[in-house]
A and B are shown apart, each in its own frame.
Chain A
């Protein structure tokens, strides 16, 4: 058994003149849940289609479960299950028929688990697919994927049509899959979902991975937010190295600090007589905003960085 389920190195993909992937790197260790983050149009689905051997990379190397996804597509696909971001089904098949069919095309599915998933996702399998809403079509693909015994689950924005209750069911199901030793690639732009589920995260922008590692690694590289109530004059922190965005309001102070300078900042702070202190690690949202902040700023029409 390989220890990396997915290994993408320097992959380029062009559609005509448009470059969808630009020397993309992506590694997913076996048995982990890997988050794949990026806004719409950043190349997430293109990467997944390359991984599934549906389109061919123009340059670079791709290994999936130890094989070449383009050449060995059929044998590799017996070992994986895929949920597309926008599920379209056969209008005249019922949900239950589509689930069984997909299971059979993959080489089998566990009927007991299918039954369990249908009730947890509250999906009526006797309805024709044309009558399903987007969320219900997504449930069909999710049940088919989760009821299979695939080693690798490739999920492309799987919760975009689900309500919060169903999102919670989905979260449980992914955690159970990991507990069974499955590998999961979860593409998403919902940060809280990735934060809850993923061991590692890759952030992609314009077809290029701009950040990747464990959540802890990523946080280490960055800033935390500190909020404190002090007796002394907090302006003493002004100009300290690594302190950003200092706001003083009476005896309350809030600032962001680079994790490498946290120690020095706290020493200064304790010298001022701390009465209360809250320090938050950066949320994934903040990490994300740092990479996309300039786009956001441009949208908001102000020049300042968002983080």
Chain B
């Protein structure tokens, strides 16, 4: 029996088990590309419109979410697709690949299902190989459909293929990276966390490299986020930047197998140590329990947000530099009535808000996991009321998302203050972040309301959050109507410091938060606890 015996069966099993999940990913990603390409053509139909758009892509925000800026001087459909879509699609592919590989490697071992399979006729390397084969198939399918969509809209066939292949290889790279992470930690959550951390670092490396000059500098070349665009598709095609993907993937595969051969099933390379034989004095109630459960995640999210904010805040000088080089840009942005540095930092603190919102929702939904796992039953069989248990969980969610928002604001303010040598930025940016906090609380309150009163509708929170994220990142490109844009929660409140603070919407949002949380507690008190 070789190490790979049974891989084929497992591949079919994974495709069968995840047929809905994978279909949704493929349809959502390929569908976005199919929908966006014609829209871009319609929205920017004249030469003047296209060059105006290209000027926006030349701004710092444009570089962060666009890329190194190839083809901006002749902004036709091809370069438009590459500059407007690449980063969103790459991030989505990376997230998909990370989740998929963790789900079929470490998470399987953690639940013990892997043990059941490994006891059958199955090679040692079959599970990780099957996970990598399936993640490659899905990425190649999405890449292929993307190439079809581009070629179908009259773009050069060779460039379309290079672009689709580049996207797929980038996705597969993150799958392979995750397979390595899954060997290191003992738990699925840990493996995913580690992979996401590396994703963040690699994204920032590209941003820093691309920000320095058009076409990117050496830090860009360290990142798989950069290589697709370095092929200069639809501008001046070159194939060799796809080579680093092949090298990286081969190296990560080899590393995965080497590490997997050195450990037992279920064990991590980092072994778990014995803990305390009794609870410390602080672990004495439900608030402490909820906090203890989440402290690792809160620390990780806070640290990641803080570092993200620090690095974007420090780009403030680059923003100023770009403006002094490009007086036309100042005129254009000036017409929109905003200070460009303020505008840039305002957009970036929008991303801090998104992180805090995602965490707030995850934090509230942990209560549902506690309930369905049976742990809530054990807790509530002690002298603990439903309202206190659930209320403390909501409090932990509010406090931790507030912490993330404040750290994001302070981080951005500190580095902007250092870069621009003006300490008033610390206060400005902290205030700007806090002014948006009610949005995060609103999502958390909606999640709480559903957990408390209608647990079956919980997916609605994800639907609204996903929609809001999509619209606030791609809305203008998708060419949606005004009212559809307004349904995004991230556009409910004014974005400081570029926009003015308004009391009324903030007060309304906070009132809704309080009301939803009160209803959530009442609902949770009245309903039966879910039984295992």
Contact = CB atoms under 8 A, between A and B. Distances in A.
Interface residues on A, range: 35 or more
Contacts of A189: none
A136 B187 CA distance: 20
Interface string A70-105: 000111011011101011111111101111111011
Contact of A105 (B276, B292, B375, B383): B383
Contacts of B283: 97, 100-101, 104
Interface string B2-33: 00000000000000000000000000000000
B528 interface: yes
Interface stretch (A125-133, A197-205, A262-270): A125-133
Contacts of A78: 383
A121 B528 CA distance: 34
B276 A97 contact: yes
B488 to A, nearest CB: 36
Interface residues on B, range: 20 to 34
Interface in A152-171: 154
A54 B377 contact: yes
Contacts of B336: none
Interface stretch (A45-53, A245-253, A278-286): A45-53
A175 to B, nearest CB: 23
B382 A126 contact: no
B378 A97 contact: no
Q: Is the interface of A mostly helix, strand, loop or mixed?
A: mixed
B275 interface: yes
A84 B374 contact: yes
B276 A86 contact: no
Contact of A88 (B292, B374, B381): B374
B385 A100 contact: no
B528 A54 contact: yes
Contacts of B374: 84, 86-88
Interface in B382-400: 382-386
B46 interface: no
Given A104-B285, A105-B379, A106-B383, 20 more contacts: A15-B531, A52-B380, A73-B386, A74-B383, A84-B374, A84-B377, A86-B374, A92-B292, A93-B275, A94-B275, A94-B276, A97-B275, A100-B278, A102-B378, A104-B279, A105-B286, A105-B382, A105-B384, A124-B274, A126-B277
28 contacts: A45-B531, A54-B528, A54-B529, A56-B528, A73-B380, A77-B381, A82-B378, A84-B374, A84-B378, A88-B373, A89-B375, A90-B292, A90-B293, A93-B275, A93-B279, A97-B276, A97-B279, A97-B283, A98-B279, A99-B278, A101-B289, A102-B382, A104-B279, A104-B285, A124-B274, A125-B278, A126-B274, A130-B187
Interface of A: 15, 45-46, 49, 52, 54-56, 73-75, 77-78, 80-82, 84, 86-94, 96-102, 104-107, 124-128, 130-131, 141, 154
